[in-house]
Amino acid sequence: MEMSSDLIKDNHHLLKTCIYYEVLKKKPIFDSYRNFCRIVGKDAMEYPNFEFWYYRFYHGNRDYDYDRSVDPEPKTIMDKPVKLMYKIAGNLDPVERTRLRSMNHTIKAIADSFPSVFESIDITVSHNYLNWRLNDKRFSCYKNANGCTLFKPNCSKAEESEECYIKKGLEYLAPVLRMPNLQVDHFSFNNLKERLNCDDFLPVSINAKRVHIYGENVNQVVRFLSAMAPGRLESIDLDVPFVGHWESFRTIFGTDQFKQAESMHLGTTEPFNVGDLVNFSHFKKFKCWLTSDNVSQDVLRTRDILSSFEKLESCELEFHCSWDGAPIREFAEALGEEIPIGPLAQGEYRTITHRYRIPESNDCLEFKIKEAENDKEDDEEEEEEYFFISWSCRRVPYAK
């Protein structure tokens, strides 16, 4: 008849006999401890005590009555020399140091003494999941009927929780974003959820070189953009599928982040007016969409505006217009270039190359203008063609 586990727990000799039996099976100590807990109970003995007796028996000592009170007090990690603690923290990557910070205040202070530099932080939040990636380590928290399920890197078993998936995920993500001296080469935030509190995700300014922000509306994008530290920010990539009121979208132009960045990509479903280009004068590189009601005027107006940008190295523009005829012809005539003629192979588009010398400069702007797309919409009364004219522009030395 098997002996009750409760009787074994109350008898120290029997507990040590069970440990000695695990030693005789010559299994790894962690496997032995799991088997010991399965048979006797998880609360029978803490792992440090099990480890002491396991290795004592392993090395041939069979004294069950050994008095451990005469042993010196066991050392903890806090008894290690400070120099060694700094060396341990220095050998960890930024993601590993985020976990080190949660141990205690002393180790947290040591971990925070190192600059927290990430190659990339990528966050995506939707109506049913929160995903984030720290360098190459990916975390995911999914909503389910009973709460949420959390997946962590290097963990074979998922963590189940009754908490909201955003609240649970932020237990791991928020401490990273609060790290002092946090620096990120590329920071990406994709918000697929209509309502979201920016302060929950970006409690402090993020020092990022390059940033990509996707938001469901302009107000979301502006709030998250404003959480970026403008002094270090070099490149901004904003994606807003629904603009709404243009005046609210133009609030982006007034942010310090927009004014101090060197390059910009604005992606929207609704293009800018040509007059809005003046807001891009400080960029070295930028990309955006434009709309035009008068091609002949706006082509030359665009060229003149770009030629006044002293820092401009290159840009990409897309004109969104509707014509009854061929738009590339109007561009060619406006710029005084030859009109492309002749048959085109399937998938090819007519292209114009135009050079314009910048006034009072030894440089010129070289434009490559291509008829990008041609979509037709049928109507009962008329058929209208919508064209997308792609501009690429770069500053090059002027050649006579």
Contact 95, 111 (CB under 8 A): no
Which range marks the domain in which residue 29 is found? 5-70
Of residues 190, 133, 138, 132, the one with CA closest to residue 165: 132
Q: Taking the model in full, what pTM does it have?
A: 0.71
77 vs 67, higher pLDDT:
67
DSSP strands (E only) in 159-294: 159-161, 182-191, 207-214, 235-240, 263-268, 272-273, 285-291
Q: What pLDDT is stored for residue 170 in this prediction?
A: 92
Percent of the chain with pLDDT over 90: 31
Q: What pLDDT is stored for residue 160 in this prediction?
A: 93
User: What value does the mean pLDDT take over residues 117-130?
Assistant: 93
The answer as to whether 128 is a domain residue is: no
Comparing 28-37, 89-98, 283-292, the range with the smallest average pLDDT is: 89-98
Contacts (Cβ under 8 Å, ≥6 apart) of 30 = none
The answer as to whether 398 is a domain residue is: no
Q: Is residue 61 domain-shared with residue 84, that is, in the same domain?
A: no
Q: What pLDDT is stored for residue 201 in this prediction?
A: 81
Contacts (Cβ under 8 Å, ≥6 apart) of 125 = 131, 166, 190, 191, 192, 193, 196, 201
The CA-atom distances, in angstroms, between 81 and each of 71, 87, 101, 166, 221 are 22, 10, 18, 39, 47
Q: Which of 60, 85, 114 is the last residue of a domain?
A: 114
Q: Which tens digit of pLDDT belongs to each residue from 264-285?
A: 998 876 677 888 899 999 999 9
Q: Is residue 16 domain-shared with residue 57, that is, in the same domain?
A: yes
Q: Is residue 16 domain-shared with residue 54, that is, in the same domain?
A: yes
Q: What pLDDT is stored for residue 319 in this prediction?
A: 82
Q: What pLDDT is stored for residue 329 in this prediction?
A: 81
Q: Tokens 């099990």 identify what position?
A: 50
Q: How far is CA 270 from the centre of its chain?
A: 25
385 vs 298, higher pLDDT:
298
Q: Which tens digit of pLDDT belongs to each residue from 1-41?
A: 345 556 566 677 888 888 888 999 888 888 888 888 888 88
Q: What pLDDT is stored for residue 196 in this prediction?
A: 76
User: What value does the mean pLDDT take over residues 353-381?
Assistant: 76
Amino acid sitting at position 155: C
Q: Which of 53, 70, 87 is the last residue of a domain?
A: 70
Q: Which of 190-220 are b and which e, b meaning 16 or more Cβ less than 10 Å from the residue's Cβ?
A: bbebeebebeebbeeebbbebbbbbbbbbeb
The answer as to whether 39 is a domain residue is: yes
Q: What pLDDT is stored for residue 306 in this prediction?
A: 95
Q: What pLDDT is stored for residue 332 in this prediction?
A: 87
Q: How many domains does the chain have?
A: 2
Which alpha helices (DSSP H) does 234-274 contain, by range?
246-249, 256-260
Q: Which tens digit of pLDDT belongs to each residue from 291-338?
A: 877 888 888 999 999 999 999 999 999 887 665 556 778 888 888 898
Q: Which tens digit of pLDDT belongs to each residue from 228-246?
A: 988 889 999 998 876 555 6
The answer as to whether 196 is a domain residue is: no
User: What value does the mean pLDDT take over residues 126-153?
Assistant: 93
Percent of the chain with pLDDT over 70: 83
Q: Is residue 96 domain-shared with residue 40, that is, in the same domain?
A: no
Of residues 135, 128, 243, the one with CA closest to residue 188: 135
The answer as to whether 284 is a domain residue is: no
Q: What pLDDT is stored for residue 378 in this prediction?
A: 45
Q: What pLDDT is stored for residue 387 in this prediction?
A: 59
Q: Which tens digit of pLDDT belongs to each residue from 203-227?
A: 778 899 999 999 877 888 888 898 8
The answer as to whether 97 is a domain residue is: yes
Q: Which of 85, 114, 143 is the last residue of a domain?
A: 114
The answer as to whether 381 is a domain residue is: no
Q: What pLDDT is stored for residue 382 in this prediction?
A: 45
Of residues 209, 128, 207, the one with CA closest to residue 169: 128
Contact 102, 130 (CB under 8 A): no
Q: What pLDDT is stored for residue 379 in this prediction?
A: 43
Q: What pLDDT is stored for residue 260 in this prediction?
A: 93
Confidence of residue 119 (pLDDT cuts 50, 70, 90): very high
Question: Does the pLDDT at position 376 exceed 50?
Answer: no
Q: Is residue 10 domain-shared with residue 66, that is, in the same domain?
A: yes
Q: What pLDDT is stored for residue 368 in this prediction?
A: 92
